[in-house]
Structure 1
Amino acid sequence: MVRQGSFVGQDRTVSSQNVEPQPVESPPVEPSAAERYVVLVELIQSYRAAYYNEDAPLVSDAEFDLLYSELETLEALHPQLVSNDSPTQVVGGDVSVAFAAVEHLARMYSLEDVFSLAELEAWLLKAAASVENRGGTAPKWLTELKIDGLAVNLLYRDGVLVRAATRGDGTTGEDVTHNVATIKDIPQKLHGSGFPAEVEIRGEVFIGSKDFLALNEVMVAAGKAPYANPRNTAAGSLRQKDAAETAKRPLSMFVHGIGAREGLTTATQSETYELLKSWGMPISPYYKVLDTLPEVMDFIAYYGEHRHDLIHEIDGIVVKVDDLATQRELGHTSRVPRWSVAYKYPPEEVHTKLLDIRVNVGRTGRVTPYAIMEPVLVAGSTVEMATLHNQDVVKAKGILIGDIVVLRKAGDVIPEIVGPVMALRDAQVPPVREFIMPTHCPSCGTELAPSKEGDIDIRCPNSRSCPSQLTERVAHLAGRGGFDIEALGYEAARALTAGHGPDPAENGGIIAPAGPGPLVSEAHVFDIAQLDLSGVMVWREKRSKGEGTGIFELTPYFYTKATAKKPSVPSKTTEKLYQELEKAKKAPLWRVLVALSIRHVGPTASRALATRYGSITAIAEALKAPNAREQLADVDGVGAIIAEALIEWFEVDWHQEIIAAWAASGVLMADAVDESVPKTLEGLTIVVTGTLPTLSRDEAKEAIITRGGKAAGSVSKNTSYVVAGEAAGTKLDKAEALGIPVLDEDGFLQLLANGPLLDAEPTE
């Protein structure tokens, strides 16, 4: 839903004749609608007060937006319900009595929010049409990130900061001058000259993502509860009664507009930004002036994927008409400007209940706590589990079992618990309790310990026989980076290695392996066809009309169910598994190296090792050399840490058994040498970024390595070329800033074939 202005007091259309406008009849208000209206107004007002005035939100942004949209819908259907104190009629929050109230010289408006790309497109087309109907040209769009912070208005007189205030209700804010004076980003006196005698500069105060993590580490070290999120911490910091306390918080600010501006002669918003920058004001590095709707959509898509790589948290993108004269022509409604809109990304943060914290044992023995939560919809999918990394992270986040927690889906992929909702902790039934890290492996019972002195992580040292570690290693070797065996997913790996545990209905709905299964070592993974899989059973939830019943039953995993007419036989998926295992035996060496689960050795290092040595035998021989560590570390893409991990792995007897068993089963442990591939890129370092038309990122990197070049992951002054596809992002920007040649795919293919042509210009 697009948030529009008030439905009260809007002009009604009249004909060109001089007649009185006829009243518009509204549908009668049903008692249930009126009752719901009162409930919504009270709820939203209480949630706003907690958010703006107490900096302690009781619901997530997504839940608030749903309630607000419901209220707008009710008011659209029944405009006679709308009261002057409706949340749709006011801007921001009330002014706290703890601070002096000050009036802004020019009103501070909220932004109109849209929640889908279709709504954004409709808004932009409507705004563009309005401009063109007024005789203007198609507008340019200043597009920038919507900082999740606190809006502040800075008043400068003769270039000196005389007052700082929060937005408040848009007309009157809270005087926070002394606190704002502690923020290093904000100049007490404007640089240069030419500024108006009186000017209001507006922006957003925030705490950077890295600074927030560091702040919480200090809090936990001092035995205090960590802060829940950067936005509320920034707001609370700015409202400290003692400015000395505010000075202890790592507050920052980016400015994004001007209120009262008499005497200012800039013609565009972007020109104004550059002027503010020349005055010493902090300007966001994340804005662009775009000409077309597709460019705006690309901007949104890019930062949707990279929103957690930024200086600060964001919750959307703001699009503004860049031309200031056009902004003035379009004007404002009672609440929002008609020349700017905020697109809000699908909600990444929601609230849910933390039911329990359990631990998982990974393929290297690392024991990782994970959260079990009441299922909740976030960023388009239902989430009920999230990793907690290690016991120190659990402590640092300050979460207790039973808390209502803030859940975020980082990068729209990985669920992450941000922290507890402290305001709701005391009301939880049963009472919250602390998580205690286990002392023994939940899978095999072995005592847990750090692998090395000083390690934060604790591990199960029973690497060879621990069922959980074996499950993870088998799933890993079959993954896309390893042998890429589609029919051997995680569930199949668990069925093969760990068997079935207790009835999930008696285990909190968790399917827990018991171990061991028919596969007792990954050394025999290519001999699965010779194992008896007919008795391998797994728990499946019974379903009724497509819904889970909570009742589980044991069913065969690799074989079909026997009936009176048909015996149990291998399923089609199992037959496919046998075929894929045979195909995997011909995998290139780098995939074999990834599949061995050598710590720190991923696809990049594996490709580099395969290119340098060509076979497992050659790698093993290199490890016997007196200077093996130095030789391995010198291989591009390897380094000292991976070299040490390789040496340690090959020294273990049962690891050698895996190599021998795979070779005996027919796995190719060496790459065929293709002498026809010329070493055209020797001595060159090349970075591939963005999406190329025909080559995948891995294919491009492999082409570089096989021709003797180094496929680097970051741009530096030592980079020879950058190969850039669509949505290349910051790596392309850095290459251009450093003057590094940039190639498209055609130019890259020419480079692969011919090497660098000294007299040729690089393709831009």
Structure 2
Amino acid sequence: MSTKPVEDLSPDEAEAELARLAEAIAAADIAYHQNDAPEITDAEYDAMRRRNDAIEEAFPHLIRPDSPGNAVGAPPVEGFAKVRHQVPMLSLAKAYTEQDVLDFLERGRRFFERDKDLELAFTAEPKIDGLSASLRYENGVFVQGATRGDGSVGEDITANLRTIKDIPHKLKGSGWPRTIEIRGEVYMTYAEFQALKARSAASGGQHYVNPRNTAAGSLRQKDPSITASRNLRFFAYAWGATSEDPAPTQFEAVHKFAEWGFPISPLMARAKTVDELIGHYKKIEEQRSSLGYDIDGVVYKVDQLELQRRWGYVTGEPRWAIAHKFPAEQATTVVRRIDIQVGRTGTLAPIARLEPVTVGGVVVENATLHNEDYIAGIDSNGLPIRGDVPIDIRIGDTVVIQRAGDVIPQIVRVVLEKRTADAVPYEFPHTCPVCGSPATRDLNEKTGKEDSRRRCTGELICPAQAIERLRHFVSRGAMDIEGLGAENMDLFFNAGLVKTAADIFTLRDRRPEVQKALAERREQQARQREVLSGKTRKNVRSVEDRNYEGLDKLFAAIDARREPELDRFIFALGIRHIGETTAAALARTFSTVEELIRVGKETAAAADPKSVFPSIDGIGGTVIEALVDFFGNQRNDDVLDALLAQVRPKPYVVAVSANSVVAGKTVVFTGTLEKMSRSEAKAMAERLGAKVAGSVSAKTDILVAGPGAGSKLKTAEALGVEVISEDEWFARVGQ
């Protein structure tokens, strides 16, 4: 992330940085919310979000269709039914200092300054580090439960939530609304986490990293009995859609939950001043190590519900709440070696292997080194990041580490006085350690600066990237192959049945091998359940005796995708920087996959690629460079040829509705759409002959604004652009 002040950025620099931030934040969201395996610290993530917001505010015309400001969390994982939240599950703004908390209170006082006699009150409660869940009750009966997902749509995990003893199947007492969604956090205690690790180690099972990730993974099990064996817990602290307010204040409402049978935090308190809030924060921090479960801060909320509604929301966050995070804990250790891991987008991620050390009650053996500039001790502008001069990290160095956000440890300081005489600077590899393809750093020709991360260019042939790319290939927005979710893709990849996308379409020819792999997985799962439950199965059938009728359905789903839409096919290839919007633009321009490949190869072979590639609205140098990397790699061509021997993408044809009232108009969608997804809205508008843009400008004709609309709405109002609601949009187009 650049350290250059936003006000000093040129439009080209701002556009390039927004592209990098969108990719990095999306990857972090998926790692944390979907894969339950965070790759960066909370503090780094929050810094990227703040930087992105600042650039978008300064350059509103550059806001991207995939702006992080339009997303909360990550899309729901495959394999679970989807649940659309009637009231979005939003994230919280963060505070890291007492001044941040004071600023939060001052913003509230300024907002309500006309209410002269108003005395603001707040609640303060621990921020539980688990997985958010929403529980819907109708007439007091639990009928559905879901994860947060991307904030708008989550995963239906009702069966798994029913196994948690803290969640009542029927509400106790009386006075509860006819319908209400109770929201809270599912978590795992330290004691249960250690017990699970011991049981897993005894049975040769998987290695569990921390309670938060383990709780999240346990809640997403396909077999509810596995979830039940994990003894998960639940704290209630909020609510979503409801037929009536539970109480007039946040504090009273949460205590109503306790009357109805839910556990609530015993450390929740009311406060009126910043001193009272900070005092309670310090009290909770002192008790943190003795609670028996993970917390990573304290949440403050305006207590009066009517004032919450008046103060309202910004994009993705309520104005009336903030999370005060705990500072990172530190320790000193030694760097034993540096390993390079290849991430899902080909990023070469350096990891420091450390002499084991305890930080905050957790044994730490690894720390992220981010990128080669971080190892060299400089930022993207060549300025030192550790001290007054660049201080690099070397094998054998004594270092100070911290668990920022209590997730991935990072090195904050090198103890130079303990550096040995034979320590030499680390040489970052320029080839992929997994597949041997060149590993390059993108160069922004306009700014002359390189990206801080080096990436493997063997996109379709690198094993380290292969499984994530295969998951993307079959995902809903891409080829959308039902039955090939993450679990089955992992199985087939590890069994050697699917190594490239083309292999998916030959699975039917290898039915016995596929059936055997599925049978062996079920057998392994059954053995693990035996160990965890202490119960032994009877009448066990052999692997060969098992019959998997669902295979015919899977093979049929695969065959149904042999003639995909061209834009879906392009998006499915997983070319860096090419999302659904860009894929559609390429499909509209080239019409056939053969023409795209021809132009792609000509562009890759040209001395000046930009002079060869046609001018396409919304596609700049970053995408062209990505296409050059992709089509310039012969091994990618070989894999693509094998895939095209199995599938025949349809030519792209835009079917425009006749006599549409929005034909030829430029439309922008913003905020939370409640009746359709963003991709559905875009597809509808294009069918009606409209052009869908990602940002508002003087050329915009209509802005369709849902709840939580932010900077785009302000820009539209300033430019005099027509603003309508989602319902008005449907009325306008007659649907």
Q: TM-score range by the shorter chain?
A: 0.3 to 0.5
Which has the bigger relative contact order, CA under 8 A and spacing at least 6?
Answer: 2
The structure that is helix-richer by fraction is 2
* TM-score, length basis structure 2: 0.46
Q: Return the TM-score normalized by structure 1.
A: 0.44
